[in-house]
Structure 1
């Protein structure tokens, strides 16, 4: 029966996609959806799905109706954060909402990194729910290595971020802007930046295809984001062949696969960049990275191995009612604050 279910599996990702430059979750889920479409495992209609992937705290109310009427519906919860770590403690109510949703409705949970899994468990995430760790991956048709680097006497470093959250490492960029020798180095930032730089080249957020072209003009990728569970911007750069310079924080260590230049402070970052001599000596081993096809297969395998054991109709109705009361209480409480 399980094998039969897998063969007719139809997946729906309960998320509002945007074609515009957006956060890492949007970019990854678009790539995953495209791969699922390619093998006829995806449906555009939530009512026709027998497996629904919910991303963090993003879900539609149609999901609860389907949970009520479909006893065999599988709900897979993709978790990031904790949100109170990636943003700040003011968002701890979102973590509580995520944990409540997962405890009540999830048949399986996908963490994006071991770091994220451990941090969420420490904050009270339900450990009894079947879980796995699957890193993200970018669209391989867009983010791949091309020979676009023109000969230059400068060593080229790039950093990207759709979010303007200060935890994305802007204080490190500002420190480099003030102290690095820009006769030897060139730094480009692409995205939404809350700081004006004197020397760093700033480009507004662009769509993926244009971003990939810009990435391929550079030698190194700098990420100084703090408590980032699975940085999509870092993965995009790695798949373009850029050598990583990364802050020892969050899931960065897991993504770079024991390669790259690691730093823990602004001074250490500056000193390590100064030591860079010949960019051609720094090579990213892409064979260590999972591409989107492999990630898609990991998702399918986990879904197949996840069992659904829904309670009876009355208990399902109770769970939905209880969760929605909690949801509106949290919203009202934070609105009043």
Structure 2
């Protein structure tokens, strides 16, 4: 299958979407599929990512319409009214849209992305949601996908893997947290509060919020995927205190490294973690105590469930969705003729 993943990934550390799509593209290639970042005459399916086609660069609905009707992406889609494209009929490849939650819920305020993503979705033949929470919130905010499936994110097992021997927690808990975004809704205040608990050490990788005093949190800065995985293998657990995230790549990375998760019961967090961690409560002492008390069982469960967080499982889900969407599209074309 010839797949266009319409996203310009970068090798430098950045957000979770970029990291996941890099791993997904590599897995598609290992599976024997052809992959490009722009549609060609041979493209069978185009994977659209949320509301952008590169970090910080939003999709233009007109350009998506141009791909749908003409099978190409150029400046024409920026200037030509959509009704003109629609008069040309459908000559482009199948469009599958990976929906990135509802930006307003994650960021805490509305942005142009909240208008772009639903408009792009109306042009798609199939929608892939990253979690059930992602699907429900998208529908509640006016999304109208034609057909859909749910595929959680996955990571490269060659980078994110557990240590041979899990760390001991007798001498206290070493908790790791990570975020590319400094938005305070990532839960920085909770991380700082955890660092005040005796016997708990918190290490943070990424961009810390300038609005929150880190207190006892050790800040190690932005790390590459390899460096982050190495850090995770030295930790007892991940702390993920963000609100309303549809499918945190950080959670997936940590669990692939064999880490149980202390998580905020918000967004898709509980759905991802399952019984491999504990939810944050108002009493943080009790929260970390419940993890420590049953730590061995948590480690066993997350290691037994590790396959759920790997990119080969995610890639298989995407390919299945692509094939079904292509088959429906071909069937519809035959019935029209």
- TM bin (shorter chain): 0.7 to 0.9
1:1-337 map, 5 Å: 9-44=1-36, 45-47=38-40, 48-59=42-53, 63-70=64-71, 71=91, 73-91=93-111, 93-103=112-122, 105-127=123-145, 129-147=146-164, 153-177=171-195, 179-181=196-198, 184-194=199-209, 195-263=212-280, 265=281, 267-275=282-290, 276-277=292-293, 279-283=295-299, 284-288=301-305, 289-306=308-325, 307-308=328-329
1:102 CA displacement: 1.2
Q: Is the 8 A contact 2:64 2:120 kept in 1?
A: no
CA distance 1:200–1:89, change in 2 (3 Å):
closer
Residues 277-309 of structure 1 show CA distances to partners (whole Å, capped at 9, x for unaligned) of 474453143343242111111111111111237
SS in 1 for 2:128: strand
1:268 CA displacement: 2.6
1:254 CA displacement: 1.1
1:270 CA displacement: 3.2
Q: Once structures 1 and 2 are overlaid, which stretch shifts more, 23-32 or 52-61?
A: 52-61
**Distance in structure 1 (CA, Å) of the matches to 2:331 and 2:184:** 42
SS in 2 for 1:29: helix
Greater relative contact order, per chain length (Cα 8 Å cut-off, separation 6+): 1
**Distance in structure 2 (CA, Å) of the matches to 1:247 and 1:271:** 14
CA distance 1:246–1:310, change in 2 (3 Å):
same
**Distance in structure 1 (CA, Å) of the matches to 2:106 and 2:295:** 31
Residues 25-73 of structure 1 show CA distances to partners (whole Å, capped at 9, x for unaligned) of 0000000000011122132352142211010111466654432324250
Structure 2 unaligned runs (5+)?
A: 54-58, 72-90
CA distance 1:63–1:42, change in 2 (3 Å):
farther
Q: Name the TM-score, length of structure 1 as normaliser.
A: 0.81
Q: Is the 8 A contact 2:151 2:317 kept in 1?
A: yes
**Distance in structure 2 (CA, Å) of the matches to 1:58 and 1:309:** 27
Structure 1 unaligned runs (5+)?
A: 1-8, 313-337
RMSD over aligned CA atoms reads: 2.3
**Distance in structure 1 (CA, Å) of the matches to 2:8 and 2:110:** 24
SS in 1 for 2:143: coil
**Distance in structure 2 (CA, Å) of the matches to 1:114 and 1:279:** 28
SS in 1 for 2:35: coil
Residues 202-226 of structure 1 show CA distances to partners (whole Å, capped at 9, x for unaligned) of 1101100111000000111110010
SS in 2 for 1:282: helix
**Distance in structure 1 (CA, Å) of the matches to 2:68 and 2:110:** 31
**Distance in structure 2 (CA, Å) of the matches to 1:310 and 1:107:** 13
Q: Once structures 1 and 2 are overlaid, which stretch shifts more, 58-67 or 214-223?
A: 58-67
